[in-house]
Amino acid sequence: MAQRVIVTGGAGYIGSHCVKRLGKLGYHILTIDNLSNGNKWAVLSGELKVVDLADTVTVKEIISSFNPHAVIHFAASIIVPESLQNPIKYYKNNTENSLNLLKILSELNIKNFIFSSTAAVYGIPEIVPVTEDAPLNPINPYGRSKMMTELIIQDISNAYGLKYTSLRYFNVAGADPEGKLGQAYRESTHLITRALKTAKGEFPYLEIYGTDYQTPDGTCIRDYIHVSDLAEAHIVALNSLLNNGESDVFNCGYGHGYSVKEVISVAKKVTGIDFKVIESDRRPGDPPQLIADCSKIKKKLNWQPRYNDLEFIIKTAWEWEKKR
């Protein structure tokens, strides 16, 4: 009999790619999403229930009747500058609503939980590539809201026997290689998406925030992971938990980075469009480099990424953008 998995935020960018993969593997899936950032059309497998995690009565009824073997929790607000302007939204949606969900799972004795965390929990790491045991020192409300949730998960695990995996994402990019899914946020804040939208003419120019960092070309360096490889990381984490694996935390990246200027250069190559770029001042709180040490997830869960290639990542995103 197919195992049942609930996916919160499964109508969003990363969640929808995971739902698609779960469906192909034969899982029985139920997505819970309030559609604030997600889209109904993006849920390609299973059933969708449109509800907010703040509505604990309805959410508990849904989870109780579905009786999942595991819950994968993507639902969150994710825009760093917005978190600085509106921290209450982030603590409510990311931390309080996660606590609501975890309380329901403990009451229903549901034991397997996968959490979407972020490299933002590290803040500006002293050592790069950053390992999972690096100090947690987030520098914005988004990162702090995720760190707080990680700590809550650990405490609930210790008290109630919850088995969990927290996956700390680095810079997620690209689109479904089959062309069925991709980024569809109301507001485009990711570098690759903004670059491609600039190539399409949706923005007059692309801004580079800071060119005086201590990096080879002066711009920030980030570790970009293809969204389908990240979806696969959730699958290996799920399989581990369902087979009595231990609770753990894993970085999800490729272990090497590209600068902002390198990304722009590849975006221009892929699109064939020499779009306008202007240089601006640094944004507050941008680490010069953020690169994952992802050896742990490869070793412990046998995660094997397939799309570790910046040009391929940008090509899939460009094919998606051209369709939109």
Active-site amino acid positions: 142
Contact 254/225 with Cβ under 8 angstroms? yes
Is residue 180 within 8 Å of residue 228, measured between CB atoms? no
Crossing angle between the packed helical segments 97-107 and 56-66, to the nearest 10 degrees: 40
Calpha distance 169→121 (Å, rounded): 10
Query: Helix or strand or coil: residue 62?
Result: helix
- In the block, tokens 């049942």 appear at 4
Q: Position 194: which residue type? A: R
The rounded distance, in Å, linking the Cα atoms of 13 and 226 is 12
Long-range contact set of residues 77-86: C-beta below 8 Å, sequence gap at least 24: 77/37, 77/142, 78/37, 78/118, 78/142, 79/142, 79/187, 79/189, 80/120, 80/140, 80/142, 80/143, 80/189, 80/285, 81/189, 81/283, 83/140, 83/141, 83/142, 83/145, 84/140, 84/141, 84/284
CA within 13 Å, CB half, 48 = 20
* Cis-peptide into 129, omega within 30 deg: yes
The H or E element that residue 165 is part of is strand 163-169
The phi, psi pair for 133, rounded to 5°, reads -95, 10
Distance between CA atoms of residues 171 and 254, nearest Å? 10
Alpha carbon of 20 to those of 24, 81, 151, 184: distances in Å? Answer: 6, 30, 30, 16
